[in-house]
Amino acid sequence: MKVLIRIAFYGKDYFGTQKQKKDKTIQGDFEEALSLIFNQEIKVTISSRLDRGVSALDYGISFSCPDGSNLDHLKYFLQRRLGVDVLIKDVREVDEDFSARYSCLYKEYLYLIQLPEKRNPLLNPISYVPTFSISKEKIEEALSLFVGLHDFRAFSTPEGEENTIQSVDEISVRERDGILYLHFKAKSFLRYQIRFMVGAALQYGRGKVSLETISNLLQGKEEKYPKLRAEPQGLLLKHIEYVNIQNLQENISFSSILFE
């Protein structure tokens, strides 16, 4: 029996999502809890490897368990076990060939930047607060270069022989109540890709890198530039769209104050 769990979580106290030997992670906590409830070793597949401090409004975990398992009881047990930093949004049976990672159609991320002159300290844990002035227009101008098919080697940390030619479907920037919302949509992203793209946009806004340099790097050309990886707490996985899986927005909604 294959099961998909959809969760939201606050990442401050997690050392990322991928299992580690000693540190607290989403994968590690779920494998421990599921192994306890089923009294056998359970291995899970996670939808994305998120960095330490990154949060999610929508995150997928798939695994196999004994046929006929009570999913309502499983949802109740997991919520009690994992505490207030994790919300169990949905637990359902899926096809045996389903994968929380590989059955994804696309993912949507947000990166939140507070404008220094309008900053709200209460939002510091889930946003980046720069100490320099920010131009929405310059951020938009730089980020527009990343849309489409490019070589993102200079804007990621590739692993091994990983293909760095990737496509980004959409990027948009909007401002509301002193916050810049940077929205990214693609089937997948390389490690640190969004944080490096945001970093490049910030560097352009400060006059430390040119649009020509960014464009050349996206063509695979060698260029020297002050590479910046934006802070992790501003990044949020907003939504994962899965093949043949009902969109949860109609029965799971979050406050529109920040995320819609």
Assess whether 13 carries a catalytic annotation: no
CA distances from 152 to 84, 179, 190 (A): 36, 27, 8
Residue 63 CA, chain-centre distance (Å), reads 20
Please give the C-alpha separations between residue 77 and each of 35, 38, 51, in angstroms, as whole numbers. Answer: 12, 11, 26
DSSP state letters, the chain: -EEEEEEEE--TT-S-SS--SSS--HHHHHHHHHHHHHTS---EEES--PPTT-EEEEEEEEEE--TT--HHHHHHHHHHHH-TTEEEEEEEEE-TT--TTTTEEEEEEEEEEE-GGG--GGGGGGSB--SS---HHHHHHHHGGGSEEEE-GGGS---TT---EEEE-EEEEEEETTEEEEEEEES---TTHHHHHHHHHHHHHTTSS-HHHHHHHHTT-----------GGGEEEEEEEETT---GGGT----TTT--
Please pick, among 51, 85, 151, 169, the residue that the annotation labels catalytic: 51
* Active-site residue set: 51
